[in-house]
Amino acid sequence: MDEILASQLRELVTSRATAALGTLHSGAPYVSMVPFVMLSDASAFIVHVSRLAAHTKDMLAEPQVSLLIAEPEREGVSPLALPRVTVVGTARQLPTDSPQHALARRAYLARFPEAAPIFGLGDFSLFAITPTSVRWVAGFGQARSLTPASFARATGTPGIGA
Amino acid sequence: MDEILASQLRELVTSRATAALGTLHSGAPYVSMVPFVMLSDASAFIVHVSRLAAHTKDMLAEPQVSLLIAEPEREGVSPLALPRVTVVGTARQLPTDSPQHALARRAYLARFPEAAPIFGLGDFSLFAITPTSVRWVAGFGQARSLTPASFARATGTPGIGA
């Protein structure tokens, strides 16, 4: 992928604060809104969710999930032309005492400093969603599939964990 | 539901042009972006999709789907405070010669007049997504579940099909 395309994709996944999370709920898809941050090496997307929420129970029961990250609607721009990316991946709850948790927490709080008090609540936990495939629509009729490796090459900063 | 709440919900589902559609794809959730319009009696959400797209094949194979309609991110507003609604429902492809198709087409083109040429393409078709349950988050900590009937009372214009 050339640098212009890569920077468009990087902009999309780093500028948005929320994604649509698809989980499997009683055997059917369920889509909810989650704040998210991508780790800077693009190895995973981090979400911070309440165990009271349906999507959290869903991810614990069935780790296969999907995230949609989309540019906001704009006056005068056809919805079909809006850049968006679908990530299909595997969700894993991060144990509180793990290095992964510390790294994810740091990345999440750098993006959402106002979430700090929620980390004290106990019923919230961090999940890492590791991409297994990526479908990127850069605009009308401009769709391409990416492997996790090519997605990370395009959007990540190599060698920096968070 | 009081009139102020109802008008907030009505505004949310009628002002947005795009939703995140969750379908079941090879047994896992898959989230993609779709332009949509709600029928004015709130009985269904209409999407117009290409048979080349994964979500279309998914809906034909498994009609259980979910839609997320969310307010756009705003500077200075916590993502968790953004109003959004998750619709769980059943998707059905509308036969081209049916009255439902004519009604859905009229509603869709009233919302997206620029989509008219796509109706001539042949590989696009209309699906109606009929709600089976609705989860509405009006703001931080303000979540409520709605039946399709209470959702329609809050957001629909009774007696008008489209």
Report CA-CA distances (Å) from B62 to A140, B27, B29, B58.
Answer: 26, 10, 11, 6
Contact B41, B24 (CB under 8 A): no
Q: Is the pLDDT of residue B64 over 50?
A: yes
The distance of Cα B79 from the centroid of its chain, to the nearest Å, equals 21
The 10 Å Cβ neighbour count of residue B61 is 11
The distance of Cα A102 from the centroid of its chain, to the nearest Å, equals 18
Share of chain B above pLDDT 70, in %: 97
Contact A31, B20 (CB under 8 A): yes
The distance of Cα A75 from the centroid of its chain, to the nearest Å, equals 26
Phi/psi at A95 (5° precision)? -60, 135
- CATH no. for A3-154: 2.30.110.10
Tokens at A93, concatenated = 């709850």
Q: DSSP letter at A161?
A: -
Share of chain B above pLDDT 90, in %: 86
A30 reaches B (C-beta below 8 A): yes
Q: Which one of A27, A29, A54 has the shortest CB-CB distance to B23?
A: A29
Tokens at A19, concatenated = 């994604």
> What's the ipTM?
0.95
pLDDT of residue B1: 81
Report the half-sphere exposure of B47 (CA within 13 A, side-chain side).
Answer: 28
Q: Which residue has the higher pLDDT, B116 or B141?
A: B116
Confidence of residue A140 (pLDDT cuts 50, 70, 90): confident
User: Chain B partners of A24 at a C-beta cutoff of 8 Å?
Assistant: 24, 28-29
Residue of A nearest to B75 (CA): A17
Confidence of residue B158 (pLDDT cuts 50, 70, 90): low
Q: Which one of B27, B66, B73 has the shortest CB-CB distance to A30?
A: B66
Q: Is the pLDDT of residue A1 over 90?
A: no
Confidence of residue A141 (pLDDT cuts 50, 70, 90): confident
Contact A38, A59 (CB under 8 A): no
Contact A23, A58 (CB under 8 A): yes
Mean pLDDT of B63-88: 95
Q: Is the pLDDT of residue A160 over 60?
A: no
Q: What is the C-alpha to C-alpha distance for residues B39 and A106, in angstroms, rounded to an integer?
A: 44
User: Chain A partners of B114 at a C-beta cutoff of 8 Å?
Assistant: 78
Report CA-CA distances (Å) from A121 to A102, A124, B149.
Answer: 17, 6, 36
pTM (2 decimals)?
Answer: 0.95
Report CA-CA distances (Å) from A1 to A56, A133, A142, B91.
Answer: 35, 16, 13, 36
How are beta strands B28-38 and B45-50 bridged, if at all? Answer: antiparallel
Q: Is the pLDDT of residue B43 over 50?
A: yes
- Looking at the domain B3-155, which fold is it? Pnp Oxidase; Chain A (2.30.110)
pLDDT of residue B160: 52
Q: Is the pLDDT of residue B153 over 90?
A: yes
Contact B98, B54 (CB under 8 A): no
Token pair 């090879």 in the structure block, residue: B26
Q: What is the C-alpha to C-alpha distance for residues A15 and B105, in angstroms, rounded to an integer?
A: 35
Cα dihedral across residues B76, A71, A86, A152: positive or negative: negative
User: Chain A partners of B21 at a C-beta cutoff of 8 Å?
Assistant: 31
The distance of Cα A86 from the centroid of its chain, to the nearest Å, equals 9
